[in-house]
Chains A and B, each alone.
Chain A
């Protein structure tokens, strides 16, 4: 079965989101399997969150300020 190639932009976006989510979960499972323990996974997950959350927040803030202008 082949996935339809000619799809709407919204469907294409949903499709890529699904793929990314699946890939993310796979990487997460791999990390849990490979790590010395769930504590290590949590610790590095927290570190990543400390980078990603401010990144999203700053980006969102910049976008809002551009729209206001």
Chain B
């Protein structure tokens, strides 16, 4: 029996199943995606540094603390460029309606009277500065007339305050000026919490020490941060940042005296120097304005020297007394002229911008009733009685001196 072998059915080879081709993203979307990842990564790493800086700053707003963080983390040129652009766009116009009155300062603001200046008092035993001859005439009531900073001070007040219009071309700008008697006061340099940034022995709490407040007469802002100024600092007789010859320097001596000098001791520390804070070249020296006030580079990597902004400066007069001046809308040159008008023969520019410019006087012993030199100074009058980021100067009555 024959059996039929089944004919094999021809097998059809099935083509391999093809996966659908993945939809490819356009190149620009992939580039954007890469940029997004890079951006998020950078922001996350930056936030690790920024967050502690912002949350850790005691008396600064988030914006100012952020700008300070950017400045101290490589962004100083960026901040300076933005500041210059901002101030150039918001430059004030010349002229305008004349002022009818000036802000009242010192005890005059609290209902006290004017101090009889040495020139007016005639027979006064202690020297006190003559009233400032205003730059603009006719003089407004009280313009350039010294007022006592402290209430119930005797005939030899340690601090006097006045205001006058700072620039004939801008008759609405008012400078606040303070005079501090070298014979009755001593000057202290107080480091802030973050400035100077270097590790520092005896940094303190960034505020006027409570034990010294009984003798506190005034406090005022320091100079530029060390990183910006490229200048030196001596604190408690030790070099914190290398000193630079030719730079204006506020010097405090071990004996309690103080001076403003053009530094010429090189990198060494003279034995009698207790502190020395440098900032830019002198703006007044030997009674004359620095001839280079209108030049740029030597004034540091910061807001342009011709930009009108809040500025402050510290001078010393022919009697060795300190003169502090601050005003809004000043150039380096106009600030120097204000200090010269007030009697300074040597002067240094201190810090600038509304965030840093502060002069605070205390009407009563014990740092009571503090008040800003000018009402437009927006920082709290309590500023240096609580920890502050920046370094500053404190003026105390000499030990044993009556208020």
Enumerate chain A interface residues (CB-CB to B < 8 A): 6-9, 12-13, 16-17, 20-21, 23-25, 27-29, 31-32, 35-46, 48-49, 52, 55
Contact = CB atoms under 8 A, between A and B. Distances in A.
Q: Interface SS of chain A: helix, strand, loop or mixed?
A: helix
Interface in B36-58: 36-43, 45-47, 49-50
B45 A49 contact: no
B36 A52 contact: yes
A20 B43 contact: no
Closest 10 CB pairs of A and B: A37-B74, A24-B37, A39-B73, A42-B46, A36-B74, A28-B41, A9-B22, A12-B22, A39-B75, A45-B42
19 contacts: A6-B19, A16-B30, A24-B34, A24-B35, A25-B41, A28-B37, A28-B39, A28-B41, A32-B45, A39-B71, A39-B73, A40-B73, A41-B45, A42-B70, A43-B75, A44-B42, A45-B39, A49-B39, A52-B36
A42 B47 contact: yes
Contacts of A48: 35, 38-39
Contacts of A52: 32, 35-36, 39
A60 B19 CA distance: 30
B74 A20 contact: no
A32 B42 contact: yes
B368 interface: no
Interface in B62-90: 69-75, 78
Nearest to A9: B22
B23 interface: yes
A23 B69 CA distance: 28
B: contact size bracket: 20 to 34
Contact of A43 (B35, B38, B49, B70): B70
Q: Interface SS of chain B: helix, strand, loop or mixed?
A: helix
A3 to B, nearest CB: 14
B382 to A, nearest CB: 30
B110 interface: no
A41 B46 contact: yes
Given A35-B74, A40-B78, A13 B22 contact: yes
Contacts of B40: 24
Nearest to B41: A28
A40 to B, nearest CB: 5
A37 B53 CA distance: 15
A24 B38 contact: yes
B37 A25 contact: yes
Contact of B43 (A27, A40, A45): A45
B39 A38 contact: no
A8 B43 contact: no
B98 to A, nearest CB: 43
Contact of A42 (B20, B21, B34, B50): B50
A39 B25 CA distance: 33
Nearest to B72: A39
B39 A20 contact: no
A20 B37 contact: yes
Nearest to A25: B41
Contact of A39 (B34, B35, B74): B74
A26 to B, nearest CB: 8
Given A38-B49, A41-B45, A49-B43, A27 B70 contact: no
Given A28-B42, A52-B35, A37 B75 contact: yes
Contact of B73 (A17, A21, A37, A49): A37
Given A36-B74, A43-B70, A9 B36 contact: no
Contacts of B139: none
Contacts of B78: 40, 43
B288 interface: no
Contact of A45 (B23, B46, B71, B74): B46
A9 B20 contact: yes
Contact of B41 (A24, A35, A39, A40): A24
Contacts of B20: 9
B203 interface: no
B72 A46 contact: no
Given A39-B69, A40-B74, A27 B38 contact: yes
